[in-house]
Amino acid sequence: MAFMFFNSLLLLLLLLQISCSRFSLALQENSSATVRSGQINSNSVLVALLDSHYTELAELVEKALLLQTLEETVGKHNITIFAPKNEALERDLDPEFKRFLLEPGNLKSLQTLLLYHIVPARIDRHSWPKSTSALTHHFTLSNERVELSGDDSSGEKFIGSAKVISSNAVDRPDGVIHGIEQLLIPRSVQQDFNNRRSLRSISAVKPEGAPEVDPRTHRLKKPAPPVKPGAPPVLPIYDAMAPGPSLAPAPAPGPGGPHHHFNGMRQVKDFIQTLIQYGGYNEMADILVNLTSLATEMGRLVSEGYVLTVLAPNDEAMAKLTTDQLSEPGAPEQIIYYHIIPEYQTEESMYNAVRRFGKVSYDTLRLPHKVLAQEADGSVRFGHSDGSAYLFDPDIYTDGRISVQGIDGVLFPLEEKAKEEKKTIKVATVKPRRGIVAAATLLPGNFWWVNQHSIKSWNDVLLSALGF
């Protein structure tokens, strides 16, 4: 009986020992799990870094996605952070190197650089070396060593070549922050930057196709240099004009083309509609509406970034044109080309120019002829002597790309004017009809002459042709 009681007591003690060991093991597991979880309280050195004066470094740590890594490190042991001052990251850092660090493809280099400033051990000001001879080395979280040294005479502290400007700037139970004068750059990051910069400096020779010949000038076409989007074209406007009615339009050398920075066709329609609504310029609007190749080319030039100034003759001036002046193929286009200046000019800019220089010659889209402008009677007069025209209605349309200035005459180059004087003048007359627009097709380009008594109906015709 005593023997059985003794065995039962031994069994009870054994079970109690096993229970105690399991409870102790569970406590150890719970405590280790708490440590591994890396719970950060408000008194942590990481919270102090985010709230400190080293805002540039804190922003880089967030951009590099290192907060979780540092939380896990702080949960295991104390850390020491060498924090560069904000000026070292804002103004003193090479802009090209900073741009390299912030590129998304260089995240690994940025993380290595930041981890190079953190040592997984606590280094207080008292544990710093007192002299340059007593150097100490510590491994950082980037697995690269940093060198700590001091100066006997001045008492200054250094980490590598960077001077410590504020030792123990932030002191917390789980770490300490020392302010340093400049950024620490490990060799691996410097090597990555040098490799990337040398790759960018290598320029490959791009293959070029056969040279193109301009069918209009029979000369080699010059390739357009690179232009920033939205900037004005660098090539002359004549290189972008269609060389003739039988040839395709030239490619766009300006910033437009497929990018459509400017909607040239929309702007051309706007200024034609403005001419119609303004009144007194129906003949000019008629030419632009019916001669679709001319309106299309103007819209394409504006879409490519060019600017235009249109000298628009009024209806009275257009009524004085003769059949000889309009009978030759392409005559209306040549007349309008001579009234388009490849510049953006307003009434004020042209008047200021003639007031200052007396006479100004403007290039036109009709090569190689120029139109002469000079001051007369407080206004601007275009052309020569009898064939001149005054600026009659200034700034009919100005949108920054197209400027329309109304004039009271049709301009011709001097050479054509001399030829016209030798020819017999034949005036085209049209008999008015009641109830309908008096119109007759005088030219192969559907050039219409309008009865002045049916302006309202004619405006409706032009607006419908424009799609309004």
User: Which position has the higher pLDDT, 63 or 459?
Assistant: 63
pLDDT at res. 4: 55
pLDDT at res. 301: 87
Residue 9 clears pLDDT 70, i.e. is over it: no
pLDDT at res. 260: 45
Most confident of 52-61, 107-116, 207-216: 107-116
CA 448 to the chain's CA centroid: 45
Lowest mean pLDDT among 368-372, 382-386, 431-435: 431-435
Share above pLDDT 70 across residues of the chain, in percent, rounded to a whole number:
68
pLDDT at res. 26: 44
Q: Kindly report the average pLDDT of the chain as a whole number.
A: 76
* For helices 264-278 and 455-466, angle between their N-to-C axes, nearest 10 degrees: 170
pLDDT at res. 436: 30
Average pLDDT over residues 128-143: 85
Most confident of 66-75, 205-214, 286-295, 311-320: 311-320
DSSP for 58-92? HHHHHHTT-HHHHHHHHHHS-EEEEEE-HHHHHTS
**CB-CB contact of 177 with 45 (8 Å):** yes
pLDDT at res. 311: 95
Confidence band of 83 (pLDDT split at 50, 70, 90): very high
95-124 in b/e form (b: 16+ CB < 10 A) is eebeebbeeeebeebbbbbbbbbbbbebbe
Residue 402 clears pLDDT 70, i.e. is over it: yes
User: Which position has the higher pLDDT, 342 or 304?
Assistant: 342
Residue 313 clears pLDDT 90, i.e. is over it: yes
Tens of pLDDT along 98-127?
888 888 888 999 999 999 999 999 998 888
Cα–Cα distance measured from residue 406 to residue 421, given in angstroms and rounded to the nearest whole number: 26
pLDDT at res. 375: 92
Q: Both tokens of residue 73?
A: 């490190």
Average pLDDT over residues 192-202: 72
Confidence band of 215 (pLDDT split at 50, 70, 90): low
Average pLDDT over residues 354-369: 90
279-297 in b/e form (b: 16+ CB < 10 A) is ebbbbbbbbbbbbeebbeb
Tens of pLDDT along 246-285?
344 444 444 444 444 567 888 889 889 998 999 899 989 8
Average pLDDT over residues 400-424: 77
Cα–Cα distance measured from residue 60 to residue 56, given in angstroms and rounded to the nearest whole number: 6
Q: Is 284 helix (H, G, I), strand (E, B) or coil?
A: helix
Strands 402-407 and 308-313: parallel
Lowest mean pLDDT among 134-148, 247-261, 324-338: 247-261
Query: Which is nearest to 110 in space by CA: 47, 56, 164, 30?
Result: 56
pLDDT at res. 150: 87
Residue 378 clears pLDDT 70, i.e. is over it: yes
pLDDT at res. 428: 46
Average pLDDT over residues 139-157: 87
User: Which position has the higher pLDDT, 448 or 13?
Assistant: 13
pLDDT at res. 15: 55
Residue 366 clears pLDDT 70, i.e. is over it: yes
Residue 381 clears pLDDT 50, i.e. is over it: yes
Confidence band of 350 (pLDDT split at 50, 70, 90): very high
Cα–Cα distance measured from residue 285 to residue 298, given in angstroms and rounded to the nearest whole number: 14
Confidence band of 462 (pLDDT split at 50, 70, 90): low
Q: Which domains does the chain have, with CATH numbers?
A: 45-191 (2.30.180.10), 264-407 (2.30.180.10)
Confidence band of 21 (pLDDT split at 50, 70, 90): low
Residue 293 clears pLDDT 50, i.e. is over it: yes
**Phi, psi for residue 317 in degrees, rounded to 5:** -70, -40
Tens of pLDDT along 119-129?
999 998 888 88
Q: Is 396 helix (H, G, I), strand (E, B) or coil?
A: strand
pLDDT at res. 117: 92
**CB-CB contact of 437 with 450 (8 Å):** yes
User: Which position has the higher pLDDT, 135 or 224?
Assistant: 135
Average pLDDT over residues 36-45: 67
Residue 30 clears pLDDT 50, i.e. is over it: no
Residue 23, judged by CB atoms within 10 A of its CB (0-12, 13-18, 19+), counts as: exposed
DSSP for 185-238? --HHHHHHHHHHHHHHH--PPPP--PPPEETTTTEEPPPPPP--TTSPPSS-GG
Confidence band of 348 (pLDDT split at 50, 70, 90): very high
Amino acid identity of 18?
Answer: I
pLDDT at res. 155: 81
pLDDT at res. 52: 82
